[in-house]
Structures are given as structure tokens and as C-alpha cells.
């Protein structure tokens, strides 16, 4: 996994999700469309699954 279990792995140029300040809409866009070497998940995940993943990603942020 490129982001690692805690979101900070940064493999293959992946962003550190612990430091990410992306707005919800931008997180959803990146999951849906992909970016760079990250694949798009629009055809693999439902809208509900993408929303759940976005919420999980936000829990990885440093407080």
C-alpha cells in the first residue's frame, strides 16, 4: 500500500495523509479520478464506499 497503514508511508510519491489538509471534495476527486500513479477507483468503489474512505482518511490526520 502506497500510503501505509498510518497514512505516512509515501511510497511511489504518495502524499503523507497525516499532513494532508485537502478538503472533502478534493479527497473524493482524487479517490474517484486517481492522480499520478494512483489509480482511479470510480468503477471499483460505490459512492458510499468512497465517502467512507474519505472519512477514514481524515481520521489519519495529525491533530
pTM of the model: 0.82
Q: Where are the domains of the chain?
A: 21-59
CATH of 21-59, one of 1.10.15.40, 1.10.760.10, 3.40.50.720, 2.60.40.10: 1.10.760.10
Could you give the residue ranges of the DSSP H alpha helices within 1-63?
A: 24-33, 47-59
* Spatial contact of 31 and 53, defined as CB atoms under 8 Å apart: yes
- pLDDT tens digit sequence for 4-63: 777 777 777 778 888 888 899 999 999 999 988 889 999 999 999 999 999 998 988 884
So what's the pLDDT on residue 2?
Answer: 77
**Residue for cell digits 494532508?**
20
Amino acid at each position: 500500500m502506497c500510503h501505509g497503514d498510518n497514512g505516512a508511508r509515501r511510497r511511489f510519491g504518495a502524499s503523507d495523509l497525516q499532513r494532508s489538509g485537502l478538503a472533502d471534495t478534493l479527497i473524493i476527486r482524487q479517490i474517484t479520478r486517481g492522480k499520478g500513479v494512483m489509480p482511479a477507483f470510480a468503477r471499483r468503489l460505490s459512492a458510499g464506499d468512497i465517502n467512507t474512505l474519505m472519512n477514514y482518511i481524515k481520521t489519519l490526520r495529525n491533530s
